[in-house]
Amino acid sequence: MENVAEIVALLRKQAQLETQILNGSGTAIASEQELEATRRRLASHPQALNAVLQTARALGRRPEAVSVQEVTEFGWTN
């Protein structure tokens, strides 16, 4: 399976970039380009992304708030 740790980090980065864009801080074009690149990297690891999303759903949390340990405790391998 793809690297769950990378997916967790990418989800946190995505949330940070989305907040940055919504708050108008930083350069909008650069932030949007970085956000698009982050989303492409997330899409390239569908199994690991699915594992994190399912774990987040089971815990009732946002995906960026889930740890790698929690994902592996739910039976997903890193």
Higher local confidence (pLDDT), 69 or 76: 69
Q: How far apart are CA 41 and CA 34, in angstroms?
A: 11
Residue 22 backbone phi and psi in degrees, to 5: -65, -35
Q: How far apart are CA 27 and CA 75, in angstroms?
A: 40
The pLDDT value recorded for residue 77 is 66
Q: How confident is the model at residue 70 (pLDDT cuts 50, 70, 90)?
A: very high
- Tokens 């089971």 — which residue? 58
Higher local confidence (pLDDT), 25 or 69: 69
Predicted TM-score of the model (pTM): 0.87
Q: How far apart are CA 70 and CA 16, in angstroms?
A: 21
Using alpha carbons, select from 47, 44, 56, 54 the residue that is nearest to residue 12.
56
Report the percentage of the chain scoring pLDDT > 70.
95
Q: Please determine, for residue 78, whether its predicted confidence score (pLDDT) is greater than 80.
A: no
